[in-house]
Amino acid sequence: MKILKLSFALLLCAIISSCSNDDSGEDLTGQTGELIIKFDNGVGDQDFIFGTTYTKSNNESYQLETLKYLISNITLTDSEGNVYTYPYNDNIFIISEANANNAGEIYVTLNDVDAADYTEISFGIGIDQDRFALGADGQGDFLTTAEEEGMLWSWATGYRFTRLDGTYSSDIATDEALNIHMGSVGTAIDNYREVTLTLPNTVLVREDSSPQIHIVADIALLFDGNTSVSFDEGYSQVHVDETTTGVIANNAMEMFSVHHIHND
């Protein structure tokens, strides 16, 4: 009987020890922390700089004076498969190159994120139809912000998801206007897209740290992504056409990648 009791005690200790090891001895219940997402625009392996001339795959060249896009619906998936969604009303951001720091980075700071070990990040490019369906009054302060940033045509038409303004040159054109104002068109054309990126190492959100996810956006892939486009053939002015806006929206899904993680 003593041997049986001893065996049971050892088994119980083993189970408790195993559970403790799985949990790493760290109780994150109720903890929240800050997470910083850094968007860094580039063109291929070059940093993006306003006024710099870049060349496409078909030898058309371009330079930009405006570069902005909308990011929304950020979610994080942890190592256990649980999904954290940032609060809806605050979960929309304008990534504007004009607001970049000296290193060319645009910061998005997420506050009070549930503490966890995150392995994946997802976000939308633009505005989903559910948010648009809330109407102008349902957009909160963001509607005014979007108007001020030139990211809204009109409420009936909707938001600009991506805005690039500049000029382009080719074999048959020199310094012609280039304007990519891609978005959904009300409910008639839905160009909202979502991106999921696996993190190269785990992001540790804790109450006493501010980890950073460094995301690179390769602007060249808007024009030379899944579909390569020609400015001379209709892609120098992309506004509300269903075909051209859809091509740019699909290309935009490919331009994001995670460069590295900082766990501070």
Domain boundaries, the chain: 30-262
Q: What is the pLDDT of residue 186?
A: 87
SS3 52: coil
Look at residue 15 and tell me whether its pLDDT is greater than 60: no
Residue 30 zone, left/alpha/beta (φ > 0; ψ -120 to 50; rest): left
Task: Specify the pairing of strand 46-47 against strand 61-78.
Answer: unpaired
What is the average pLDDT across 206-220? Answer: 96
Could you tell me the two tokens for 137?
A: 């009054």
* Encoded tokens for 9: 């005690």
Quote the pLDDT of residue 51.
96
Q: Tell me the two tokens of residue 179.
A: 């304007």
For residues 18-46, give the mean pLDDT: 79
Q: Is the pLDDT of residue 168 over 70?
A: yes
d(CA 50, CA 200): 30
With cut-offs at 50, 70 and 90, classify the pLDDT of residue 3: very low
pLDDT band for 30, please (50, 70, 90 cuts): confident
10 Å Cβ neighbour count for 144? 11
In this structure, the strands spanning 32-43 and 212-218 are parallel
Contact assessment for residue 4 and residue 11, using Cβ atoms and an 8 Å cutoff: no
256: alpha, beta or left? (left if phi > 0; alpha if psi -120 to 50): beta
Task: Say if CB 152 and CB 146 are below 8 A apart.
Answer: yes
Q: What is the pLDDT of residue 7?
A: 43
Consecutive H or E run containing 12 = helix 2-22
What's residue 14's pLDDT? 41
The amino acid at residue 101 is N
On average, the pLDDT of the chain sits at 91
Mean pLDDT lowest among 28-32, 111-115, 189-193: 28-32
Gyration radius of the chain's alpha carbons: 23
The per-residue pLDDT for range 90-126, each reduced to its tens digit, is 999 999 999 999 999 999 999 999 999 999 999 999 9
User: What one-character DSSP code corresponds to residue 98?
Assistant: G
Give pLDDT, residue 133: 93
Residue 23 has pLDDT above 50, yes or no: no
